[in-house]
Amino acid sequence: MILPCIDLMGGKVVQLVQGRDKALEGDAPLEMLARFSAFPQIQVIDLDAAIGSGANDDIVELLCSRATCRVGGGVRSVDRARKLVEQGAHRVIVGTAAFTPALEEIADAIGHERVLVALDSKDGRIVVKGWREKTEFTAEEVLHRFEPHCSGFLCTYVDKEGMMQGTDLAWFRRLRAATDREITAAGGITTLEEIRELQRLGIHAALGMAVYTGKLSLIELANLT
């Protein structure tokens, strides 16, 4: 499955480089959703909620009312997870809170089948809190720890996020070998060849910058779904 991404900041659709520098703004949220109508699911990340500077709840709810969306950003409590489900989120992405007791509480509250754990890697280590804090763990080390509390993983190769330089397929191969849970790859995916290799591995692809810049054609991508 190919998932176009809608990242929200200040009420706008944006694309960041490595989670920090805004590279571009997309069209209005509903216009982007219309462009992505050929895809079965959309990934929506509330960047303001992720870094604790606010939230884009009205837009998230609107997008979830129009499409099947997996939603993340600032999901650090049961209340936040429940709110996203109430807003229509098909699945909820948990990042920083996965390393706290909140993950089990969230899974119990909304069902583990709705939970995706975000494992974002930079310089070989998992990063949390909007990619601003590095942990001591590698993704391969923690996959089994989280499996009882989620239905899959969103794994972002932060080193290449937004840089249009390709991703690290070897990393995703190692992750695929380490778990039988669903994996969605993100971070630097730039070519159809990379997407085909991920599909061969049984890994979904979440796409941002390559779609927004036109490097990857939505028509060609739709034919791969």
In this prediction, residues 26-41 reach a mean pLDDT of 94
pLDDT at 163: 63
CA distance 2 to 49: 24
Counting residues of the chain whose pLDDT is more than 90, the rounded percentage is: 78
Residue 52: is its pLDDT beyond 90? no
Residue 225: is its pLDDT beyond 90? no
CA distance 169 to 195: 10
Q: How many domains does the chain have?
A: 1
Cβ-Cβ contacts under 8 Å for 177 (sequence gap 6 or more): none
Residue 107 CB neighbour total at 10 angstroms: 23
Residue 81 tokens read as 């997870």
Exposure b/e, 180-215, CB count within 10 A at least 16 = b:
ebbbbbbbbbbeeebbebbeeeebbbbbbbbbbeee
CA distance 70 to 99: 20
In this prediction, residues 141-164 reach a mean pLDDT of 89
| pTM reported for the whole predicted model | 0.93
In this prediction, residues 80-106 reach a mean pLDDT of 95
Q: Which residue bears the tokens 């796409």?
A: 207
Closest Cα to residue 77, out of 45, 108, 42, 119?
A: 108
Residue 72: is its pLDDT beyond 90? yes
Q: Which has more confidence, 123 or 106?
A: 106
End-to-end CA gap in the chain? 6
CATH number where 11 lies: 3.20.20.70
Lowest mean pLDDT among 72-86, 90-104, 125-139, 209-223: 125-139
Its sign, for the CA torsion 88, 13, 4, 167, is: negative
In this prediction, residues 115-128 reach a mean pLDDT of 91
Which tens digits make up the pLDDT trace of 153-199?
999 998 877 667 789 999 999 999 999 999 999 999 999 999 999 99
Average pLDDT, the chain: 92
pLDDT at 11: 93
Counting residues of the chain whose pLDDT is more than 70, the rounded percentage is: 97
pLDDT at 17: 72
Print the domain residue range for 137. 2-224
Active site residues: 7, 120
